[in-house]
Amino acid sequence: MYDVAVIGAGLGGLECAYLLAKKGMKVIVLEQNPVIGGCLQTFKRSGVTFDTGFHYIGGLDEGQPLNRIFKVFNLMTLPWQKLDTEGFDEVFYGGKSYLFKNGYGNFLAQMTEYFPNDRACLEKYVGLMKDVGENIFDAFSRKQEDMLADDSLFSTGALDYLTQNVKNEVLKNVLSGTSPKLPLTEKLPLYHFAQINSSFIQSAYRIKGGGMQIADSLAAQIKQFGGEILTKAKVVASEEKDGALTALILSNGEKIETKNVISNVHPLELMKIVDKVSFIRAAQKRRYSSLENSFGMLTVNIALKKNALKYLNRNVYIHEGEVWQEGFQKAEDFPKCALISYAVPQSGEYAENIDLLTPMLWQDVERFDNGSKPGHRGTEYEEFKQKKAAQLIDLADKYVPGIKNAVDKFYVSTPLTYRDYTSTAEGSAYGVLKKMPFQKLASNVYWTGQNIGLHGILGVSMTALLTQRLLTGDVPEL
């Protein structure tokens, strides 16, 4: 009998397992894939390591939120590399370049230089970013009903706030221009927008060698605390007794008896597991099974020719349309936007690989979902990927000349690929489109991870800490 069984070995599941195992609880993590990590997974092609979903993080300087959280998880010893403080992000919009600087004051000064007639609204905007960023841990002392109040940042739409407070349309698009690190839709809560953007204004970092190091470090420590991690362990059903889940059933028939369950999988997947459970109402199951998903991504992982493209210690965001509409770009307009992310080279001044990302809807690839395994979906799908990749490379080359000629080999993934390797419904890059945080399904069943509240490394880590608080009544000292 386990104290806690965690379904899914993504970041949120591993962090929950770490926290609870460290407290002496008997914990097991159940991962259906052969490899742990979820979006932190890396893979090798042509001898080059590529990230699946991790690219950079914010708030990692001493005393900042993610730094304090990562110290809890002993993750600050990993090979972090700070991005250029004078321009950690570069946004191209309307044919012009805008650099984002670290530090609230520096960010305000730079934006005011670009938009001198909008200082008042910029001061208000930066004030909001600063307030959210410096008070992020207030969440541990707030009740959920306070978060859901009509005047809360969770109940206010980010687009509504910007529309009301930023009258300059160019400025509104520039401030939103570091998408696609969050899903820009009308349903995006202001708190999500502010928390993510604020953390990067504080500081921005990449990791040398790939994000899988985070998952590997957490897994090793979980085992040191006596926790267990099973891979190829797909949970397909559950058992109940006296209004609580008492066991999880694996696809091989094995039964995992447990006192508590934490789900780090998509709500749709959890509803399949608890389908026969009587104490969870049918209306709840229908609600969580029908939640709308965020859009997915087309990603082109590029292995570069040797000494062909210099490493850039910042991210480049390209926008040739209205930023808040680009997640729903039509096939005939593709691509309207892109993120260019450089991997930290092992040595020297030249990049070894880069990633290009752009939003892609599930509808654009659904016709290729024929039940075949990855790599066996037919010629039409491969031609589709190659065409889209070529278009995205052409767009990137317009703004960073030399990329196209520097390409040695490239590899393409779509929302179908993401769905297959991370088990997120419709290959959604950010899980469900959420309106509010919710942490507990029923009785002894808890949620964690990007599908139930915040996404990104900082957001998911916050959900893990909040889940521990619900289960044990406390959180580590931060």
Confidence band for 148, pLDDT divided at 50, 70 and 90: very low
Confidence band for 100, pLDDT divided at 50, 70 and 90: very high
Q: What average pLDDT does the chain have?
A: 91
Do 257 and 243 lie in one domain? The reply is yes
pLDDT at residue 142, as a whole number: 63
Q: Are 296 and 362 in contact (CB under 8 A)?
A: yes
The yes-or-no verdict on residue 88 having pLDDT over 90 is yes
- Each residue's pLDDT tens digit, 256-275: 999 999 999 988 899 999 99
Q: How crowded is residue 457: how many other Cβ atoms within 10 Å of its Cβ?
A: 25
Residue 271 lies in a domain: yes
pLDDT at residue 437, as a whole number: 54
Q: Are 19 and 471 in contact (CB under 8 A)?
A: no
Do 408 and 454 lie in one domain? The reply is no
- Each residue's pLDDT tens digit, 402-425: 999 999 999 999 999 988 887 788
Judged by phi (left if over 0) then psi (alpha if -120 to 50, else beta), residue 427 lies in left
Of 58-67, 220-229, 268-277, 324-333, which range is least confident?
324-333
- How far apart CA 198 and CA 108 sit, in angstroms, is 12
Q: Are 242 and 230 in contact (CB under 8 A)?
A: no
Do 287 and 388 lie in one domain? The reply is no
User: Could you give the angle at the alpha carbon of 416 between the alpha carbons of 413 and 421, nearest 5°?
Assistant: 80
**How many independent structural domains does the chain possess?**
3
Residue 94 lies in a domain: no
Q: Of 150, 184, 203, which one is at a domain's C-terminal end?
A: 203
**Amino acid letter, residue 6:** V
Do 115 and 152 lie in one domain? The reply is yes
Instruction: Note down the domain range covering 189.
Output: 104-203
Do 305 and 402 lie in one domain? The reply is yes
Confidence band for 150, pLDDT divided at 50, 70 and 90: very low
Confidence band for 432, pLDDT divided at 50, 70 and 90: confident
Q: Following CA atoms 26, 33, 440, 442 in sequence, which dihedral angle do they give, to the nearest 10 degrees?
A: -80
- How far apart CA 413 and CA 301 sit, in angstroms, is 8
* Closest CA relative to residue 177, chosen from 315, 48, 278, 64: 315
The yes-or-no verdict on residue 76 having pLDDT over 50 is yes
CA-to-CA dists, residue 445 to 32, 240, 273, 352, 454, angstroms:
19, 11, 12, 44, 19
- How far apart CA 141 and CA 171 sit, in angstroms, is 35
Burial call 55-85: b when 16+ CB within 10 Å, e when fewer: bbbbbbbeebbbbbbbebbebeebebeebee
**Residue in this structure with the two tokens 């699946």, named with its chain if needed:** 52
Helix, strand, or coil (residue 4): strand
